[in-house]
Amino acid sequence: MKPTVVIGGGIVGLFTAYFLQQQGEEVIVVDKGDMKENCSTGNAGMIVPSHIVPLASPGMIAKGISWMFSSKSPFYIQPRLDKRLIDWCLQFYRHSNAKHVAQSIPYLKGISLYSKQLYMDFVATHGNEAIKLQDRGLLMLYKTREGEKEEAELAHLARESGLNAEILSKDDIRKLEPNQEVDVRGGVYFPDDAHLSPKDLYRILKNHLKEHGVQLKSNVGITGVEKAGSKITAVITSQGKIDCSHVMVCAGSWSGEIAKMLGFRLPMMGGKGYSFELTNTPELKQASILTEARVSQSPYGDKVRFGGTMEISNRIDMINMRRVQGIFESIKAYYPEFQADFPSQDKIWKGMRPCSPDGLPYIGKAPGWENVAFGAGHSMMGVSLAPATGKLLADLKTGKIGTLKTDAFAVGRYAGKL
pLDDT digits (tens, 9 = 90+) for 165-222: 999 999 999 999 999 999 999 999 999 999 999 999 999 999 999 999 999 999 999 9
305 forms beta bridges with 277, 298
pLDDT of residue 314: 72
Measured from the Cβ of residue 88, the count of other Cβ atoms closer than 10 Å reads 22
Q: Could you report the per-residue pLDDT of 37-48, keeping only the tens digit for each?
A: 767 778 889 999
Q: Which amino acid is at 394?
A: A
For the stretch 98-128, pLDDT in tens is 899 999 999 999 999 999 999 999 999 998 8
Q: Which residues contact 323 (CB under 8 A, 6 or more apart)?
A: 71, 72, 73, 76, 274, 309, 311
Q: Which residues pair with 187 in a beta bridge?
A: 141, 168
pLDDT at position 63: 62
Per-residue model confidence (pLDDT) at position 139:
98
**What pLDDT is attached to residue 401?**
79
Confidence at residue 65, expressed as pLDDT on a 0 to 100 scale: 57
The CB density around residue 341, as the number of other CB atoms within 10 Å, is 8
* Residue 247: predicted pLDDT: 98
Assess whether pLDDT exceeds 60 at residue 331: yes
- State the CB neighbour count (10 A cutoff) for residue 105: 18
Q: What is the pLDDT of residue 312?
A: 78
pLDDT at 166: 97
pLDDT for residue 79 is more than 90? no
Compute the distance between CA of residue 10 and CA of residue 37 in angstroms, rounded to an integer.
9
Mean of pLDDT values over 59-79 = 64
Edge to edge, the sheet with strand 27-30 lists 215-217, 27-30, 4-7, 246-249, 372-376, 362-365
Q: Evaluate if residue 399 carries a pLDDT over 90.
A: no
Q: In the prediction, which pLDDT does 30 show?
A: 98
Query: What's residue 402's pLDDT?
Result: 80
Mean pLDDT confidence for 299-316? 86
- Burial label for 129, CB within 10 Å (0-12, 13-18, 19+), is exposed
**pLDDT at site 418:** 44
Closest Cα partner for 92 from 49, 58, 53?
58
Q: Is 150 left (phi over 0), alpha (psi -120 to 50) or beta?
A: alpha
pLDDT tier at 36 (50, 70, 90 boundaries)? confident
- Residue 67 pLDDT more than 70? no
Percent of the chain with pLDDT over 70: 95
Kind plus residue range of the DSSP H or E element containing 195:
strand 194-195
Question: What is the per-residue burial (b if ≥16 Cβ within 10 Å, else e) of 173-190?
Answer: beebbeebebebebbbbb
Q: Please say whether the dihedral angle defined by the alpha carbons of residues 199, 205, 206 and 208, taken in this order, is positive or negative.
A: positive
Say what percent of the chain tops pLDDT 90.
Answer: 76
- 132 within 8 A of 197, measured Cβ to Cβ: yes
Cis check for the bond before 282: say yes or no (omega within 30 of 0).
yes
Give residue 403's pLDDT. 86
> CA 105, CA 98: separation in Å to the nearest integer?
11
Question: Does the pLDDT value for residue 71 go beyond 80?
Answer: no
Residue 364 φ/ψ region, left for φ over 0, alpha for ψ in the -120 to 50 degree band, beta for the rest:
left
Predicted confidence (pLDDT) at residue 69 exceeds the cutoff of 60: no
The whole-chain average pLDDT of the chain stands at 92
**Quick check: 302 pLDDT over 80?**
yes
Go through 289-317 and write b for each residue having 16 or more CB atoms within 10 A of its CB, e for each that does not. bbbbbbbbbbbbeeebbbbbbbbbbeeee
d(CA 293, CA 73): 8
**pLDDT score of 70:** 60
Write out the E strands in 33-176. 46-47, 75-77, 138-142, 166-168
Give me the amino acid identity at 166: E
Distance of CA 192 to the CA centre of its chain: 18
Q: How confident is the model at residue 226 (pLDDT cuts 50, 70, 90)?
A: very high
Q: Quote the CA–CA distance of 44 and 275 in Å, as a whole number.
A: 8
Residue type for position 360: L
DSSP string, 345-403: GGG-EEEEEEE-TTS--EEEEPTT-SSEEEEE-BGGGHHHHHHHHHHHHHHHHHT---S
Given a cut of 70, whether residue 62 has pLDDT beyond it is no
Pairing of strands 362-365, 295-300: unpaired
